[in-house]
Amino acid sequence: AQSVTQPDIHITVSEGASLELRCNYSYGATPYLFWYVQSPGQGLQLLLKYFSGDTLVQGIKGFEAEFKRSQSSFNLRKPSVHWSDAAEYFCAVDPRTGGTASKLTFGTGTRLQVTL
Amino acid sequence: NAGVTQTPKFRVLKTGQSMTLLCAQDMNHEYMYWYRQDPGMGLRLIHYSVGEGTTAKGEVPDGYNVSRLKKQNFLLGLESAAPSQTSVYFCASTTDRGPQETQYFGPGTRLLVL
């Protein structure tokens, strides 16, 4: 079955430490891949996306993600976390099943806590 | 630009009551979406629309109806609310230029059904 998996429900890192959030997908072909962030009480904001080309994608707020086809992964990274990065992070995919309508399937999210 | 706005921000309903959630966008987007967010389950697509006057079912459409009478508005209706519909509802919109386009989200409506 097609799915998006974020294996880490909750991660705690110290401010200034590096961060990696995992995302794996199970689709027949390479989907479009997205990372969104949700601050408490807010809607979702796009961090970055991948649909073709360079497998290392740069996003906003100093985040980057690397698409690895062999591992069906699209992990999100940040070299040095800031306290303001505390939020919930969602990986999402569009399966490219045809048509022009964007249809996203979301992972269950990873909640990031940052300690000072 | 206000982006995507949602009305109301919070609502409490009793089982069996009805209500309508309003989503409005000022970006001239063709596509609009309604999601629900439940703890531990991420966001799930309820219904979506690819243009004025069109709607389609998503992953979890049961118990909901939608209408897109104007391009800028997308309404989500609950005819007879159930406790299982307690959730946070998000609206999103995007262009019709392809699935790689960004979806823009509203701030959400928190619904509690007693």
Q: A102: pLDDT confidence band, cut at 50, 70 and 90?
A: confident
Asked if B108's CB is within 8 angstroms of A102's CB, the reply is no
Interface of A with B in 47-86 (CB under 8 A): 49, 51
Read off the amino acid at residue B19. Answer: M
pLDDT at A98 over 80: no
Q: List the one residue out of B36, B50, B53 whose CA is nearest residue B91.
A: B36
B41 close to A (CB below 8 A): yes
Contacts of B98 in chain A (CB under 8 A): 100, 102
Listing DSSP states for chain A in one string gives --EEE---SEEEEETTS-EEE--EEE-SSPPEEEEEEE-TTS-EEEEEEESSS-SEEE-GGG-EEEEEGGGTEEEEEESS--GGG-EEEEEEEE---SSS----EE---EEEEEE-
Q: What is the average per-residue pLDDT within A25-33?
A: 84
pLDDT of A28 > 90? The answer is no
pLDDT at position A38 is 93
Q: Please determine, for residue A113, whether its predicted confidence score (pLDDT) is greater than 80.
A: yes
Residue owning tokens 């991420």: B42
Q: Which residues of B touch A107 (CB under 8 A)?
A: 42
A16 pLDDT tier (thresholds 50, 70, 90): very high
Model confidence pLDDT, tens digit, residues A51-70 = 888 899 999 999 999 999 99
Q: Residue A1: its pLDDT value, please?
A: 64
Q: How far apart are CA B54 and CA B32, in angstroms?
A: 10
Nearest to A3 by CA among B44, B50, B113, B73: B44
Q: Please tell me the distance from the alpha carbon of residue A4 to that of residue A1, in angstroms, as a whole number.
A: 10
